[in-house]
Amino acid sequence: MFEAAELGRSMSKAEYDAAVPALQTKLLELQRQLRAASFPVFVIVSGVEGAGKSEVVNRLHEWLDARGLRTVSFFDETDEMRERPAAWRFWREHPPRGTIGVFFGSWYTRPIVDHVYERIDEDAFERAMARITATEAMLVADGALIVKLWFHLSRKTQKKLAGHPRKATKSTWKVTPLARRYAKRTDVFRGVSERAIQRTDAPHAPWHVVEAEDRRYRDFTAATILCEALERRLAGPKPAVKPPAPAPAPPIRAERGQTVLDRVDLAARVEDDDYRRRLDALQRRVFELAWMAHGRGVSSLVLFEGWDAAGKGGAIRRLTSALDARLFRVVPIAAPTDEERAQHYLWRFWRHLPRAGNWAIYDRSWYGRVLVERVEGFAPEADWSRAYAEINDFEAQLTEHGIALTKVWLHIDKREQLRRFREREKTAWKAHKITAEDWRNREKWPAYAQAVHEMVVRTSTPGAPWTLVAGNDKRVARLQVLEAVADHLERSLDARGGRKRK
């Protein structure tokens, strides 16, 4: 494949000088248009070490406006990164809509290097490529433009870099020690890179292999590719994402109006004494597991969804009062901030992922996408129907990292909700909890029930099942929540086995 990028292409100084001003004018104009557009641009800068990626990036900075352009580089890993799923470090640097993010070192770097140095095997490498493909498809489906550049050098040039670590002269002073080290494995890198490119080349996120022997040709070509991609994307609609992006499945309808919620035993009750005894035992169990998990660096993520007035707040408090306050954080999900709106909807959840051994408790969650956004029509059907697969993939990344994920739906019936609304209106310090919106949501009960049904069916996975909690008796609900949390955490600790946090 790389042979096509070993044709010895170059650009004379005269050609270059003549062509650059027009290219720059165009880039600046496109960047201006981009500002008003509502999608982000990812420029993935990859390729062999020594090909001058750093110079290309600098050139882009020279030609483009610094506003709305940001380069992020991903080399060494900090402990804050290691404590979270691998993708976290990329999510935190996603460019906001209307801007360009140059990814220098990207989600490709680690799998390729790890495979070259045999730290991961074939299977792990293929899985990494499949995940990248899914992630890119998800970003493009959300509107993103992904421009993937691979800078190539011939074997001959690479060997030269490896063999002759010359003293710094004007033409070589940017050859880094890394380039010399990597160049010693030129052939292995070549094979692995070729496979990475083949596996992840897709019409909606194609690779561009750029011949990097000649600086002028290299820089001009890279900028031209960006220019053309921007132009196309600004002119047309966002590209259709063909599989491997999961095609939205036909909607799942509750049969004869029967939803999974009907299976919840709302008649369950618990006696006072029994409640206190069991609550105490469960809280202690959670407390002990939490410290054990902290010691082993296992994080917990508990998310609460449920009908209005189903008792989320109370259940969360029974959980947090079993935890040391330095270990958890409650993340209430309300309207997104403008920084959040400028990102993919999952971004705001990635950003709050807890550090190793800590807890994040989401009061409402990413499931808003397939609940309120669906029912209220905030997200078009194409978006929310795609979300099930996106969410499953997101959660798989959490659980694969060893995070204990508990997903709770707090269920009550319509009559109980009415009783609680009325009661709240009567109680001074609870009155603020009932708004006109709550009454409006209540009118849409059947639509929500349908949405919940489909959500549970589609996103209950072995690693991240839903727990449907019987909420008509608040105390029953609290016990069920604590039990689910403890069970999930215990299972994650078992799975992790003896591995200790250093």
Task: Name the minimum Å distance from CB 65 to a second copy.
Answer: 8
Using CB under 8 A as the binding rule, the residues of this chain from 429 to 488 that contact a second copy are: 429, 432
First to last CA, the chain: 44
Q: Does 171 sit near a second copy (CB under 8 A)?
A: no
- For residue 195 the two structure tokens come to 């496979």
Phi, psi of 43 (to 5 degrees): -110, 110
CB count in 10 Å sphere of residue 496: 16
Ramachandran angles phi, psi of 83, nearest 5° = -80, 0
Q: Select 3 or 76, whichever has its Cβ closest to a second copy.
A: 76
Residues in the interface with a second copy (CB under 8 A) total 57
Please tell me whether residue 104 binds a second copy under the rule CB under 8 A: yes
Stretch that binds a second copy, among 108-116, 172-180, 181-189, 391-399 (CB under 8 A): 172-180
Q: Does 66 bind a second copy (CB under 8 A)?
A: yes
- Candidates 17-25, 146-154, 194-202, 454-462: pick the segment binding a second copy (CB under 8 A): 17-25
Contact 150, 209 (CB under 8 A): yes
Cβ neighbours of 17 (radius 10 Å): 11
Tell me the window of 75-83, 108-116, 123-131, 455-463 that interacts with a second copy (CB under 8 A).
75-83
Q: Is 422 in the site for a second copy (CB under 8 A)?
A: no
Alpha helices in 297-335 (DSSP H): 312-320
Cα separation, 228 vs 108, in Å, equals 23
Q: Which stretch binds a second copy (CB under 8 A): 51-59, 129-137, 253-261, 437-445?
A: 51-59
Rounded least distance, CB 62 to a second copy, Å: 5
Decide: is 428 part of the binding site for a second copy (CB under 8 A): yes
Q: Quick check: 500 binds a second copy (CB under 8 A)?
A: no
Residue 32 near a second copy by CB under 8 A: yes
* 70 sits near a second copy (criterion: CB under 8 A): yes
In the complex, the smallest distance separating the C-beta of residue 109 from a second copy, rounded to whole angstroms, is 11
- Cα 411 versus chain centre, distance: 28
Q: Map tokens 């001009």 to a residue.
A: 220
Examine residue 174 and tell whether it contacts a second copy (CB under 8 A).
yes
Task: Name the segment binding a second copy (CB under 8 A); options: 52-60, 201-209, 243-251, 391-399.
Answer: 52-60
Complex with a second copy: residue 328 or 409, whichever CB lies closer:
328
Compute how many other C-beta atoms are within 10 angstroms of the C-beta atom of residue 486. Answer: 24
DSSP collapsed to 3 states, 238-292: CCCCCCCCCCCCCCCCCECCECHHHHCCCCCCCCHHHHHHHHHHHHHHHHHHHHH
Alpha carbon of residue 140 to chain centroid: 13
Binding characters for a second copy, 348-377, by CB under 8 A (x = yes): -------x-------x--------------
Question: Residues 108 to 127: which contact a second copy by CB under 8 A?
Answer: none
Q: Which is nearer to a second copy, 67 or 256 (CB)?
A: 67
The yes or no reply on residue 25 touching a second copy (CB under 8 A) is yes
Residues 471, 410 contacting (CB under 8 angstroms): yes
Out of 10, 33, 54, 392, the only residue in the binding site for a second copy (CB under 8 A) is 54
Kindly indicate which of the ranges 68-76, 119-127, 217-225, 226-234 contains the residues binding a second copy, using the contact rule CB under 8 A: 68-76
The interface mask with a second copy, positions 309-348, x = CB under 8 A, is ----x--xx--xx-xxxxxxxx-x-x--xxx---------
**Given 44, 48, 57, 309, the residue binding a second copy (CB under 8 A):** 57
What are the beta bridge partners of residue 255? 258
- Residue 414 or residue 501: which is nearer to a second copy going by CB? 501
Q: Does 176 bind a second copy (CB under 8 A)?
A: yes
Instruction: Specify the long-range contacts of residues 492-495, CB closer than 8 Å, at least 24 apart.
Output: 492/293, 492/298, 492/300, 492/399, 492/402, 492/403, 492/404, 493/289, 493/292, 493/293, 493/296, 493/298, 493/404, 495/402
Least gap, CB of 288 to a second copy (angstroms):
8
CB 476 within 8 A of CB 270: yes
Report the distance separating Cα 148 and Cα 484, nearest Å. 43
CA-to-CA dists, residue 334 to 46, 173, 360, angstroms:
38, 51, 16
Give, for 301, the enclosing helix (H) or strand (E).
Answer: strand 300-306
The residues in 210-269 that bind a second copy, with binding defined as CB under 8 A, are none
296-312 as b/e: b if 16+ CB within 10 A: bbbbbbbbbbbbbbbbb
Report the helix count and the strand count for the chain, using DSSP H and E: 20, 10
| Closer Cβ to a second copy, 164 or 284, answer by number | 284
Please give the Cα distance from 257 to 416 (Å, whole number): 20
Residues that bind a second copy (CB under 8 A): 21, 24-25, 28-29, 32, 53-54, 57-58, 61-62, 66-73, 75, 78-80, 102, 104-105, 170, 173-174, 176, 280, 284, 287, 313, 316-317, 320-321, 323-330, 332, 334, 337-339, 355, 363, 428-429, 432
